[in-house]
Amino acid sequence: MDNVTYGQLLKDAAALIEITGGDPWRARTYARIGRDLAKRAEPIDPVVASGNARSLPGVGASVEKHLVELQESGTFALLEELRAEAPAHILDLTRISGLGPKKIRALWQELGVGSIPELEAVLADGRIAELKGFGGKSQDNIRAELERLARTAGRRPLPAALRVAGPVLDFLRSLPEVDRAEIAGSVRRGKDLVGDLDFVVASDAPLAVTQAIVGHSLVREVIASGPTKTSFMLPGDLQADVRIVEPEKFGALLHHFTGSADHNVAMRARAKAQGLTISEYGVASVETGEVVACETETDIFAAVGLPFIEPELREGAGELQAAEAGRLPQLVQRRDLRGDLHMHTVASDGRNTIREMAEAAREFGHDYICITDHSKSQTVANGLDEERLRRHMADIDAVNDDIDGIIVLKGIEVDILRDGSLDLPGDLLDELDFVVGSIHASFRLDRGAMTERLCKAIASGHIHCVGHPTARKLGTRDPIDFDFDAVVAACLKHRVALELNAGAGRLDLHDIHAKRAAAAGVKLLINTDSHSAGGFHQIFFGLCMARRAWLTSDQILNTRPWDEVRQALGPVPG
Ligand code: DGT
Ligand code: CA
Ligand code: CA
Ligand code: ZN
């Protein structure tokens, strides 16, 4: 069994313990262990199999027993007991942010609500108002959440999809019968939310490949299986389609299933005008039926008179015209990025020290980083007040003096308060190398007030960058509402950058806004907002957003050395 499943089932048990009125302390312990196991890089299976489950972080005698049962049977007795005690679909309610286990328990015990449709019913007939803690505001929130869930039904964040897709792709590539395997579809195009996974495989032995896939431990349920096409379910209710072709036709298959559908439609129209057809089997002549291209994607594009178009651009949004005119952008790449200017340490809510973050960043290949812990109003995140920030600044300087091969800058992620003022005094902020200003509360101001709030912070002269500008949480919280163009104008005027926050839970700005900001001339920064030394790889997700926004390296500030970044930002001198 894979780590994600171990973790998910422990988290399910944790939620059910609280919903059924069990010990909250025990629930929290299970939830924490579940989260840690799901994130763990090394497989848990062999550890459990060798009887060493207790060497896993936090695991004691009772959890060890569950893990052993899980490995043997795919479930454990306690989980089954808990499931039997509560309504079958009650865990669906945990997807509504703002509804914790306590509230879910009240809904179930007092009103008999055990599923999302039942929740919709008590909301519609007003019975929900009988419950304590479910006033008008809370009901509005639940309504908004239900709308959000309906809108994003079945779609999930790219990082979560990749966590599941990665091991499947590795497995396919490890098969001796497999020549090449790639993930296609919306994942290859780097979309922030994806519907399903599409794998394309080159092999001369499709049956052997199919047999191997359906036997894989990650495969939950096979939906359809033919000689060259298989569909199955992966953990987290994620569907995957696998298609297999002979190696000579791999390019055609990869192109077709990378899409997007709109891009394919545009390609077909172009081919038709040239007397050609285009399908998953290649580009062919209408007249003779002869296939003129199929081996590589470059061949496919060349057959219709175009240069290679990067997958992130294939949305049918003018990429064919740009390619035809020789105006395709030279998209920013991983190796262009030199630094990361947003991260947390143990001083606030991060897991590692300044030194550990610096060493990991250097190992990752960065030339500079900025330590930006939270400011004081983030009490849950142990935010820094003036006095603690002063000490932290000295600590950062000490690490910077001591370490070779990387510049360690001192900064902060200062809260932009409800009225647009900043959470720490301006003269103190001005002593820092770099300041990120972010919104972490009061997300529901109306559009006018929210725009004013952001513009006031941008005009303060004390911040260099707006962090995660729309404050969305990918798949769980909608973006805040403000006049984006007004904020872009303020950023230009005051030389403030906008962040492309690459943190797996955010991806904020997303592509459409990033494109608009860059077109207006605002500088962007791709930062990971890492909360641990293992977080820097998330820059990949930020790159996906940037590339989907057609961005080149000169539109992204942290492709430059630190002194140039600094000079490009902040109040105009004089
Ligand atoms: P998703 O899964 O909803 O996030 O988005 P995609 O783009 O991965 O869509 P999916 O999985 O339905 O299909 C993968 C690609 O296969 C799609 O981008 C283009 C191609 N494709 C699938 N069905 C059709 C179709 O009916 N017409 C065209 N032109 N292309 C299709
Ligand atoms: Ca797909
Ligand atoms: Ca699909
Ligand atoms: Zn933040």
According to CATH, the topology of domain 156-245 is Beta Polymerase; domain 2 (3.30.460)
Mutate to test the pocket of ligand 1, among 198, 245, 313 (most ligand atoms within 8 A of CB): 198
CA distance 11 to 38: 10
Q: Which CATH class is domain 3-151?
A: mainly alpha
What pairing do the DSSP bridges indicate for beta strands 229-234 and 238-245?
antiparallel
In whole numbers, what is the pLDDT of the chain averaged over residues? 94
Average pLDDT over residues 279-303: 96
What ranges make up the beta strands (E) of 85-192?
156-157, 178-183
CA distance 143 to 514: 29
Mutate to test the pocket of ligand 1, among 186, 255, 262, 314 (most ligand atoms within 8 A of CB): 186
Residue 573 confidence (pLDDT) above 60: no
List the 229-234 sheet strands across, edge first: 178-183, 197-203, 238-245, 229-234, 221-225
More confident residue, 5 or 553: 553
CA 354 to chain centre: 24
- DSSP-derived secondary structure for 357-398: HHHHHHHHT-SEEEEEEEBTT-GGGT-B-HHHHHHHHHHHHH
pLDDT at 59: 94
Measured from the alpha carbon of residue 185, the closest ligand is 1
Q: Which atom of ligand 1 is nearest to the CA of 198?
A: 11
Backbone angles phi, psi at 10, to 5 degrees: -65, -40
Percent of the chain whose pLDDT exceeds 90: 83
Could you identify the residue written with the tokens 């020290």?
Answer: 353
Residues near ion ligand 4 (CB < 5 Å) are: 438
- Domain definitions of the chain by residue range: 3-151, 156-245, 252-324, 334-568
Q: In the structure, what pLDDT confidence band is assigned to residue 574 with cuts at 50, 70 and 90?
A: very low
* CB-ligand 1 contact for 260 (6 Å cutoff): yes
Partner residues linked to 285 by β-bridges? 276
CA distance 481 to 471: 10
CA distance 334 to 196: 25
pLDDT at 572: 59
Contact in structure between 539 and 567 (CB atoms under 8 Å): no
CA of 243 to the centre of ligand 2 (A): 12
Instruction: Summarize pLDDT for 106-159 with one digit per residue, the tens.
Output: 999 999 999 998 999 899 888 998 899 898 888 998 998 888 777 766 788 999
Average pLDDT over residues 76-104: 92
* Number of helical (H) and strand (E) elements in the chain, helices listed first: 23, 17
Residue 41 confidence (pLDDT) above 80: no
Instruction: Summarize pLDDT for 428-476 with one digit per residue, the tens.
Output: 999 999 999 999 999 999 999 999 999 999 999 999 999 999 999 987 8
Burial class of residue 304, CB neighbours in 10 A (0-12, 13-18, 19+): buried
Instruction: Summarize pLDDT for 353-401 with one digit per residue, the tens.
Output: 999 999 999 999 999 999 999 999 999 899 999 999 999 999 999 999 9
CA of 25 to the centre of ligand 4 (A): 28
CA distance 155 to 316: 21
As a three-state string, the secondary structure of 163-216 is HHHHHHHHHHHHCCCEEEEEECHHHHCCCCEECCEEEEEEECCHHHHHHHHHCC
CA distance 282 to 250: 9
**Angle value at C-alpha 309, between 527 and 242, nearest 5 degrees:** 85
Q: Kindly report the protein residue whose alpha carbon is nearest to atom 29 of ligand 1.
A: 261
CA distance 189 to 279: 19
Longest dimension (CA), the chain: 79
* CB-ligand 1 contact for 185 (6 Å cutoff): yes
Contact in structure between 509 and 548 (CB atoms under 8 Å): no
Measured from the alpha carbon of residue 240, the closest ligand is 3
Partner residues linked to 231 by β-bridges? 224, 241
Backbone angles phi, psi at 336, to 5 degrees: -75, -25
More confident residue, 57 or 402: 402
CA distance 33 to 11: 8
* CB-ligand 1 contact for 398 (6 Å cutoff): no
- For helices 116-124 and 101-111, give the axis angle rounded to 10 degrees: 70
According to CATH, the topology of domain 334-568 is TIM Barrel (3.20.20)
Q: Smallest Cα–Cα separation from 421: which of 369, 446, 391, 458?
A: 458
Strand, helix or coil for residue 18:
helix
Instruction: Report in angstroms the alpha-carbon separations of 142 from 93, 148, 150, 155.
Output: 10, 10, 12, 19
CA 180 to chain centre: 26
- 252-324 CATH choice from 3.30.210.10, 3.40.50.10490, 3.30.365.10, 3.30.920.30: 3.30.210.10
Instruction: Summarize pLDDT for 315-332 with one digit per residue, the tens.
Output: 999 999 999 999 999 999
Contact in structure between 223 and 295 (CB atoms under 8 Å): no
CA distance 33 to 176: 36
pTM score above 0.85: no
Residue 507 confidence (pLDDT) above 90: yes
What pairing do the DSSP bridges indicate for beta strands 291-293 and 282-285?
antiparallel
Q: Smallest Cα–Cα separation from 249: which of 214, 205, 206, 294?
A: 294
Average pLDDT over residues 231-255: 93
Q: Smallest Cα–Cα separation from 568: which of 548, 552, 554?
A: 554
More confident residue, 571 or 180: 180
